[in-house]
A and B are shown apart, each in its own frame.
Chain A
Amino acid sequence: MSVSFSDLTPLLGMGIVIATAIILLMYEVFSDQIDRRYCARIAAIGLLIAMYYVGKDIAAPTRALFASNVRAAPIVVDAFARASSLIMMAGALIACLLSPAYAKNQGHDYGEYYSLILFAVVGMMVMVMSGDLFTFFIGLETMSIAVYALTGLRARDPRASEAALKYFLMGAFATGFLLFGIALVYGASSTGSVSLSDLARTIAASNDAVMARPLLGIGLVLILIGFAFKIAAVPFHMWAPDVYEGAPTPVTGFMAVGVKAAAFLGLLRIVIVGLSAQDGGADAIWVDFLSGLAVVTILVGNAIALVQQSIKRMLAYSSVSHAGYALIGVVAAAQGEAGAGRAVLFYLTTYTFMTLGAFGVLTYLEREDGGVESERFGAYAGIGYKHPALSIAMALFMIALAGMPPTGGFVGKLYVFSSALRAGETTLALVGIFGSVVSVYYYLRVIVAFYMRDVPDAGPTPQATRSTELTIGLALSTAAVILLGIAPSHWLAVTEIALKSLVTVGY
C-alpha cells in the first residue's frame, strides 16, 4: 500500500526529534568549532516541542500506520505509545540539561553527543509503538547503537573504553538471543507472522499446552532473556555496574532510565497484547521465568548495592534492583491484573526522575580529573553544608528511591506492590518489601555521607561544576519527584488512559 504524508502525522513528535538531531549535526558542521554552548539548548527545545505535540492529546484515538487495521500494523500510535514516549523524552530532556557543563569538563562537548541522545530516543519511541516483534527489534537496535557510541565518548579514559566494549559485546549477545527468539516464535506461529496480535492468537490456540509447542515456549523465553539484558536483570546484569561507572555520568543516568524504561514499556506491550490475552497465560512458562527473574534481581541487586564503596556503582546496582520491582509489576500484568500495567508505567515515570536527579547531583559534583577515587562515599563528607540546596535535592532523591512518602517513589512502589497483591503474587510483594528495607540502608549511606560526616577521608573530594542547564535539570527532577508524590492524580489518570488503549482497541 502506498504511504502518503498525511499518514505520518501521528509520528510528528518523532519527526521533530529526528529533525532536531539532524539540526544538531548540521550545527556541529557549520558552527564555529569552539562554541557549542547552544547544543544542549537546541536539543532541549526540540524535545520540549516534541513533548508538546505528543502530550497535547494523549487520549487521541489509536492510529495504525502502514496497515489498514491495528492488528496487522507494524507501528501503532496509541495512548500507551504517547505516554511512554513522553517519559522517555522527559528523561532525555533532563539528560541533555545535565550534560553541557560535564561534557565541557570532560572534553567531549560535541554536538553529536546530543544528536546521539535524540536518535536513541527515536529508537525508544519505535520500541513502544511497535505492533510486531521486528519493528520492536529495529527500534531496539536504533537505540542501542546510539547508546553504544555514547558510552564510549570519553575515549581516553580506560574505564570508558572498557565500558563501551563491554556494553557493545553484551548488547550484541542480547540481540542474538532476541533475534533467535523472534525467529523461533515466527516458526511456531500458525500464520507465519511476528505481529503481537498473531502471537496472542498462536498462544490462545496452543491453550495450556505450551510445552506441546516447545518452539513457542523456548522462543518466548529467549526473547525475555534479550530483554533481561537490556533492563539489567540478574543474572544478565553483569555489564551494568562497569558500564554505568565508565560512561559519562549524564549518559549513565540516561541509560539507567531511558534504555530501561523503553525496554520495560516495550515488554509491557508485548506481555499485555501478546502474552496475557488468554487465561492460559497465568501459569505459563514465561510467567514463572519473569517471577524468578524479579526475585533474583531484587535480592541480588540489593545485596550487592549494600557493599559498594562508590556512589556511582551503588546507584548502578540500585537501578538493577529497581528493575526487579518493575518486573513484579510486569508479572502481575502477565497474570491479567488490570492495574499492573499502569503501575509499571507510573513506577517507571517516578524512577526516571529520581534516578536522573541522583545522577544529576553526581554530575554536578564530578571532578575534572574524575576517577573512582572521587566517587567514594567518604569523599562526599560535609557536602550537605557546602551545597545546601543541592544536598536537599539529593536527600530527596534518595528518600524517593528508598520508597518513602511524600515522594513519587513511594506512590510508585505502592502501586506496583498493590497490583502484585491483587494478582495474588503475595510472595513477590514480600520480596519487594524485603528488598526495599535492605535498600534503605545504602540510600541512607548517601545522606550520612552528605550530612553526618564532617571531614572527608583522604583523597580527592568532589568539586562543583555549576551551569544554568544543570540547575534547571535538577529543579525539574526535584519538582517531578515531589509532585508525583503529593499530587499524582493527573499522571495516574494518564496511565489509566494509556493502558486502556492497549487492552481495548483492536486486539
Chain B
Amino acid sequence: MLDSAQLLTAVVFLPALGALILALFPTGDDRNLKGSAIAVSFLTFLLSIGLWRGFVETRVGYQFYDSIAWIPAFGITYTIGIDGISLVLVMLTTMLVPLTLLGAWSAVEHRTKEFVIAILVLETGMLGAFVALDLFLFYVFWEAMLIPMYFLIGIWGGQRRVYAAVKFFIFTMAGSLLMLLAILFVASQPDGGWNFQLAHALLRKFDPSVAPYLFWAFAIAFAIKVPMFPVHTWLPDAHVEAPTAGSVILAGVLLKLGVYGFIRFAFPLFPDAALDALPIIAWLAVIGIVYGALVAWVQPDMKKLVAYSSVSHLGFCMLGLAALTIEGVSGAIFVMIAHGVSTGALFLLVGVLYERRHTRVLADYGGIARRVPIFAFFLVMTVMASAGLPALSGFPGEFLVLLGTFTAGATQRIWAIVAATGVILAAVYLLWMVQRVLFGPLSNAANEKLADMNLREICVLTPLMIFAVVLGVKPGIVLDKIEPAVEVFVVNLHERAERRPSYAADSGRFRPRSVPSRTPDKPAMVLPRRLPNTLQLPSKPMFRAPPGAVPLRAAPTVVPKRELK
C-alpha cells in the first residue's frame, strides 16, 4: 500500500506513466488509445479521491509532504505537499481531464495517439505545478506544461493555430524566464550555496531595494498566465484556435496556475513588495473584470466570448487576493474552482455545436432550442452557473470576493463597486448569447437537422452540472478545505502589514474599520474579518468558512513556515 507521500507522487506521475505506455500502442488503434487514456486519467481521479479523503481539514501546513534530494550540488530537491488550496485545484484537475478526454472522443480524428499523450503529459505538468514546494521543481513543471499545450493548440487547432500557439508560448515563456532569474536570486544563499526549497525561501529576508524587482518578476509571470489585463491578449487567440479539449484545460486549469502562483509564491515570498503592489494588482483586476465583460459582450464568436468571460472571471480571483481578507481570498479560490467547472462546461458545449455545424459564429444559430432540447437545458444551466445565479457554483465565489473587498477598507470599496458591474455585465453577455443561440425563430435552415446531444456528451456534462449545483448549494465542501491555508496566507500578510512603519498612516488599506483594538501581547490573534453589521450574511450555515461572526480558530500560533521540516 502506498504511504501518504507516495500517494501524491503517484497522482502526479500516473498520467505521465500512462502516456509512456500509450506511446507503445499501435498508431491506428484510436478507440483503444482514447479508451486507455480515459482509463488512466480516471484512475488518477480515483487516486486523488484518496488525497481528498486523507486530507485533514483542521491541520495547518502541508500534508502528504515528501522531500528527497534531487540535484544536491544545487540544493535542488523533489519536495511536494499540498494544503487545502492545492488540494482543491488538484481535484479540479483530475476531475476535468477524464471528462475532457471523453468530450474529445469524436472531435479528434487524426493523430489521436499524439493527442492523448499530450493531454496526459499536460496533466502531470499541471498536477506537479500544484504540488511542488521546491522552486526549481515548480519551474520545471510550470515550463513542462507549456510544451504539450503548445502542441495541442498548434496541431489540433483551427485556422490560425500556429500563430496562436507561438503567441501563447512566447508570452508565457517571456514571463517565466524573468521568474527564473528571480528564482535564482531567491535560491542563491549568502554563503555561496543554493537552496531551492520554498520553506527555506520563506524564511529569508530580502533587501527592500531588491524585493520589489523579485516580486514583479514573479508577478509578471503569473499575471501573464492568469491572464491579467494588459497581458491577456494571448488568451483569446489561444482559446479560439485551440481544440475543445485544449480550451477546457486551458480555461479550467492552466489559468488557475497563475492565481495559484500569486498565492503560493509571489505574495508569501515578498510580502512587503506585494503589499505595495496591491493597489496596482487590484486596479488591473478591476479593469480586467469590466473590460473582459465588455469585450465579451460584442464578440460574434462564441468561443471568443467565453474566452473574454474568462478574463473577467479571473479578474475576480485577483481582486479577491488583492482585498487580502479571508472572505476575499476564499472567494478567489472558490471562483477558480467554479470557473473551472462552468467555463469547462461552456467550452464543451460550444464544442458540441461546433462538431455538428463547424461554426462558432453566434449569427449562424438562433432558435435551436426546439431542435436540441437537451443541449438547451445544459447550456442554460451552465450559463446560469457562470453568470453567478445563487444556488449555482458561480455565486458563492463572486459574492465572497465582492464582500471581502467591500469590507476591507475605504479604497477597496471602490474596487468592489466597480467590479460588481462585472457581475451584471456577465449576466448580460451570457444571457444574450443564450438568447441568440437558443431562442427566437429558427433563422438558419442549416440548423433544421441539428442533432441533439448524444449519450456520451450527456455523460461528460452531467458530472459538471452536478458539481455546479453542489458547489452552489454547499460551498462548504471547498471552503472548509481551504480555510486553514487561507487563514495562514492572510494572517501572515497582515502581520507583515502591521509591522510596516506606514501602517498607522494608511491602516484603512488593509484593515476593516471594525477591527477591535488590539492588545500588544497577543499580536497575531486579531484578524480583520469581522463584517460590518449591515452586511451580515443571511444564511450563515451555507457559508461555513468565512462567516463574520464565527470566532477564529486559535490559528495564528501556527505559522506554517516554521512548522515545515
Number of interface residues of A (CB under 8 A): 33
Q: How far is the CB of A57 from chain B (nearest CB, A)?
A: 20
Given contacts A417-B180, A451-B155, contact A405 B170 (CB under 8 A): no
Given contacts A489-B72, A493-B73, contact A433 B180 (CB under 8 A): yes
Q: Quick one: which of B129-188 are within 8 Å of A by CB?
A: 139-140, 143-144, 146-147, 150-151, 154-155, 161-162, 165-166, 169-170, 173-174, 177-178, 180-181, 184-185, 188
Number of interface residues of B (CB under 8 A): 32
Binary B-proximity of A386-417 (CB < 8 A = 1, otherwise 0):
00000000000001001011100011001001
Q: How far is the CB of A444 from chain B (nearest CB, A)?
A: 5
Give the chain B neighbours of A452 by CB distance below 8 A.
Answer: 154-155, 161-162, 165
Give the chain A neighbours of B177 by CB distance below 8 A.
Answer: 433, 436-437
Contact call B154/A448, Cβ cutoff below 8 A: yes
| CA distance in complex: A385, B155 (Å) | 11
Q: How far is the CB of A405 from chain B (nearest CB, A)?
A: 4
Binary B-proximity of A447-458 (CB < 8 A = 1, otherwise 0):
110011100000
Contact of A448 among B72, B74, B166, B173 (CB under 8 A): B166
Give the chain A neighbours of B165 by CB distance below 8 A.
Answer: 444, 448, 452
Contact call A433/B166, Cβ cutoff below 8 A: no
Give the chain B neighbours of A414 by CB distance below 8 A.
Answer: 180, 184
With an 8 A cutoff between CB atoms, is A209 at the interface? no
Q: How far is the CB of A398 from chain B (nearest CB, A)?
A: 10
| CA distance in complex: A441, B150 (Å) | 12
| CA distance in complex: A290, B400 (Å) | 56
Contact call B111/A385, Cβ cutoff below 8 A: yes
Given contacts A404-B143, A452-B162, A492-B73, contact A421 B154 (CB under 8 A): no
Q: How far is the CB of A449 from chain B (nearest CB, A)?
A: 10
Contact call A418/B162, Cβ cutoff below 8 A: no
Contact of B140 among A406, A421, A433, A447 (CB under 8 A): A406
| CA distance in complex: A436, B180 (Å) | 12
Give the chain A neighbours of B188 by CB distance below 8 A.
Answer: 418, 421-422
With an 8 A cutoff between CB atoms, is B71 at the interface? yes
With an 8 A cutoff between CB atoms, is A488 at the interface? yes
Contact call B184/A418, Cβ cutoff below 8 A: yes
* Residue from A421, A429, A452 having most chain B Cβ neighbours under 10 A: A452
- Chain B residue nearest to A421 (CB atoms) is B184
Given contacts A405-B143, A433-B181, contact A496 B150 (CB under 8 A): no
Contact call A417/B184, Cβ cutoff below 8 A: yes
Contact call B73/A448, Cβ cutoff below 8 A: no
With an 8 A cutoff between CB atoms, is A179 at the interface? no
Give the chain B neighbours of A492 by CB distance below 8 A.
Answer: 71, 73-74
Contact call B155/A421, Cβ cutoff below 8 A: no
Contact call B71/A488, Cβ cutoff below 8 A: yes
With an 8 A cutoff between CB atoms, is A440 at the interface? yes
Contact call B181/A429, Cβ cutoff below 8 A: yes
Q: How far is the CB of A131 from chain B (nearest CB, A)?
A: 28
Contact call A444/B181, Cβ cutoff below 8 A: no
Q: Quick one: which of B106-124 are within 8 Å of A by CB?
A: 111
Contact call B185/A441, Cβ cutoff below 8 A: no
Give the chain B neighbours of A451 by CB distance below 8 A.
Answer: 151, 154-155
Q: Quick one: which of B193-241 are within 8 Å of A by CB?
A: 194
Contact call B71/A441, Cβ cutoff below 8 A: no
Q: How far is the CB of A462 from chain B (nearest CB, A)?
A: 20
Q: How far is the CB of A171 from chain B (nearest CB, A)?
A: 35
Give the chain A neighbours of B73 by CB distance below 8 A.
Answer: 489, 492-493, 496
Contact call B144/A444, Cβ cutoff below 8 A: no
With an 8 A cutoff between CB atoms, is A49 at the interface? no
| CA distance in complex: A273, B73 (Å) | 24
Give the chain B neighbours of A433 by CB distance below 8 A.
Answer: 177-178, 180-181
Give the chain A neighbours of B74 by CB distance below 8 A.
Answer: 492
User: Do most interface residues of chain A lie in helix, strand or loop, or is the interface mixed?
Assistant: helix
Contact call B155/A404, Cβ cutoff below 8 A: no
Given contacts A414-B184, A430-B181, A433-B178, contact A405 B140 (CB under 8 A): yes
Q: Quick one: which of B233-283 are within 8 Å of A by CB?
A: none
* Interface contact tally, CB-CB below 8 A: 78
| CA distance in complex: A429, B155 (Å) | 34
| CA distance in complex: A410, B188 (Å) | 17
| CA distance in complex: A441, B174 (Å) | 11
- Chain B residue nearest to A413 (CB atoms) is B180
* Residue from A338, A436, A437 having most chain B Cβ neighbours under 10 A: A437
Contact call A405/B144, Cβ cutoff below 8 A: yes
Q: How far is the CB of A182 from chain B (nearest CB, A)?
A: 35
| CA distance in complex: A492, B178 (Å) | 24
| CA distance in complex: A297, B187 (Å) | 28
Q: How far is the CB of B561 from chain A (nearest CB, A)?
A: 24
| CA distance in complex: A84, B111 (Å) | 43
Give the chain B neighbours of A385 by CB distance below 8 A.
Answer: 111
Q: How far is the CB of B412 from chain A (nearest CB, A)?
A: 35
Give the chain B neighbours of A411 by CB distance below 8 A.
Answer: 71
Contact call B170/A437, Cβ cutoff below 8 A: yes
Give the chain B neighbours of A406 by CB distance below 8 A.
Answer: 140, 144
| CA distance in complex: A410, B150 (Å) | 18
| CA distance in complex: A405, B178 (Å) | 15
Contact call A437/B173, Cβ cutoff below 8 A: yes
Give the chain B neighbours of A453 by CB distance below 8 A.
Answer: 162
Contact call B151/A399, Cβ cutoff below 8 A: no
Contact of A399 among B147, B162, B166, B170 (CB under 8 A): B147
Contact call A444/B161, Cβ cutoff below 8 A: no
Contact call B170/A440, Cβ cutoff below 8 A: yes
Q: How far is the CB of A61 from chain B (nearest CB, A)?
A: 22
Q: How far is the CB of A36 from chain B (nearest CB, A)?
A: 37
Contact call A444/B150, Cβ cutoff below 8 A: yes
Given contacts A440-B173, A489-B71, A492-B74, contact A421 B139 (CB under 8 A): no
| CA distance in complex: A304, B154 (Å) | 25
- Chain B residue nearest to A396 (CB atoms) is B147
Give the chain A neighbours of B72 by CB distance below 8 A.
Answer: 489
Contact call B169/A405, Cβ cutoff below 8 A: no
Give the chain B neighbours of A441 by CB distance below 8 A.
Answer: 166, 170
| CA distance in complex: A338, B191 (Å) | 13
Given contacts A417-B184, A429-B181, contact A444 B166 (CB under 8 A): yes
| CA distance in complex: A437, B178 (Å) | 10
Contact call B146/A404, Cβ cutoff below 8 A: yes
| CA distance in complex: A493, B72 (Å) | 10
Q: How far is the CB of A502 from chain B (nearest CB, A)?
A: 18
Q: How far is the CB of B158 from chain A (nearest CB, A)?
A: 12
Give the chain A neighbours of B174 by CB distance below 8 A.
Answer: 437
Q: How far is the CB of B292 from chain A (nearest CB, A)?
A: 26
| CA distance in complex: A301, B473 (Å) | 59
Give the chain B neighbours of A399 by CB distance below 8 A.
Answer: 147
Q: Quick one: which of B75-110 are within 8 Å of A by CB?
A: none
Q: Quick one: which of A463-506 are within 8 Å of B by CB?
A: 487-489, 492-493, 496
- Chain B residue nearest to A337 (CB atoms) is B192
Q: How far is the CB of B523 from chain A (nearest CB, A)?
A: 36
| CA distance in complex: A88, B385 (Å) | 62
Binary B-proximity of A429-446 (CB < 8 A = 1, otherwise 0):
110010011001100100
- Which 8 A-B pairs give the minimum distances between C-beta atoms? A405-B140, A452-B154, A492-B73, A418-B184, A437-B174, A433-B177, A405-B143, A440-B173
**Given A406-B144, A437-B170: 4 more A-B contacts, CB < 8 Å:** A411-B71, A421-B185, A447-B154, A487-B71
Binding site for B on A (CB under 8 A): 338, 385, 399, 402, 404-406, 410-411, 414, 417-418, 421-422, 429-430, 433, 436-437, 440-441, 444, 447-448, 451-453, 487-489, 492-493, 496
A-B contact pairs, 28 of them (CB 8 A): A402-B173, A404-B144, A404-B147, A404-B173, A405-B139, A405-B143, A406-B144, A417-B180, A421-B181, A421-B185, A422-B188, A433-B181, A436-B173, A437-B170, A440-B173, A444-B150, A444-B166, A444-B169, A447-B154, A448-B154, A448-B165, A452-B162, A488-B71, A489-B72, A492-B71, A492-B73, A492-B74, A493-B73
Binding site for A on B (CB under 8 A): 71-74, 111, 139-140, 143-144, 146-147, 150-151, 154-155, 161-162, 165-166, 169-170, 173-174, 177-178, 180-181, 184-185, 188, 192, 194
